[in-house]
Amino acid sequence: MTVIEAAHTNKGKILEAASELFLQGGVSALSVRAIAAKAGVSTIGIYSHFKGKDGLLEALYIEGFEMVSAAVEVDDLGDSRGSVLAACGRYLDIAENHKAHYQLIFGEAGASYHPSEAARTASAIAFDRLVSFTSIILPSDANLEDKQKKALEVWALMHGFVSLRHHAVAEALPGIDWRPLVLGAVERFIEA
């Protein structure tokens, strides 16, 4: 294994450990020592890769929005409704399979984390992709304001369901199959 491969492996271990700790206890659970212990690396490794806890949060934040951007990249399925629903399905996969990233990018990091310009750029790129993917269900002469409004409506609809799914209310409703519920709501929204 080369030094570069080892560095990427350690970086991945650190990000994974931080994600797990974040899910267990939020930002307060993210100390450099706890992350290093969980990842099986030295604290120096965290500082060399991420410059500490804030750099690590930054990396998770950017990675989360990069995942959202990739998820909503529109595939031309020859059917605009089907393409939007496919992108929504991938968004739901991100929310379910990367809960720590999802919670971090949607404000559950607490007041201690303030996204940098690079992190805000990653979120803007994700929103631009959301605008692009929802635009395919609008008339071709729709203006930017209408496209942005539609993107916010679809995003709010999906995010609302995801938030409920991650909330304690989900435990009070056992047996709910959330994915078809969300996608059905998006489909009805598109048809309306």
List, in order, residues 6 or more apart from 103 with CB less than 8 Å away: 22, 23, 109, 166
d(CA 51, CA 44): 9
| Average pLDDT along the chain | 83
The tokens for 32 are: 């450099």
Most confident of 18-27, 142-151, 154-163: 142-151
CA triple 15-19-91, angle to 5 deg: 100
The tokens for 186 are: 């998006």
Collapsing DSSP states into helix, strand and coil, what is residue 146? helix
Split into its structural domains, the chain has a count of: 2
Judgement on whether residues 120 and 180 belong to the same structural domain of the protein:
yes
pLDDT at position 2? 41
**Structural domain containing residue 155:** 53-191
pLDDT at position 109? 58
Judgement on whether residues 136 and 184 belong to the same structural domain of the protein:
yes
Share of the chain above pLDDT 70, in %: 89
d(CA 14, CA 44): 12
Judgement on whether residues 34 and 63 belong to the same structural domain of the protein:
no
pTM over 0.75, yes/no: yes
pLDDT at position 76? 64
pLDDT at position 101? 84
d(CA 68, CA 101): 10
**Looking at the predicted structure, is the pLDDT value of residue 79 above 80?**
no
Judgement on whether residues 134 and 145 belong to the same structural domain of the protein:
yes
What would the pLDDT profile of 91-106 be if each residue is shown by its tens digit? Answer: 899 888 888 888 888 8
The tokens for 16 are: 């994974």
List, in order, residues 6 or more apart from 3 with CB less than 8 Å away: none
Judgement on whether residues 28 and 122 belong to the same structural domain of the protein:
no
**Looking at the predicted structure, is the pLDDT value of residue 78 above 80?**
no
- Categorize the per-residue pLDDT at 117 as very low, low, confident or very high, splitting at 50, 70 and 90: very high
Judgement on whether residues 68 and 10 belong to the same structural domain of the protein:
no
In angstroms, the first-to-last Cα distance of the chain is: 55
Q: Pick from 123, 125, 116, 8: which is nearest to 57 by CA?
A: 116
Share of the chain above pLDDT 90, in %: 16
- Categorize the per-residue pLDDT at 108 as very low, low, confident or very high, splitting at 50, 70 and 90: low
**Looking at the predicted structure, is the pLDDT value of residue 80 above 90?**
no
Q: What is the mean pLDDT of residues 165-191?
A: 80
Judgement on whether residues 110 and 145 belong to the same structural domain of the protein:
yes
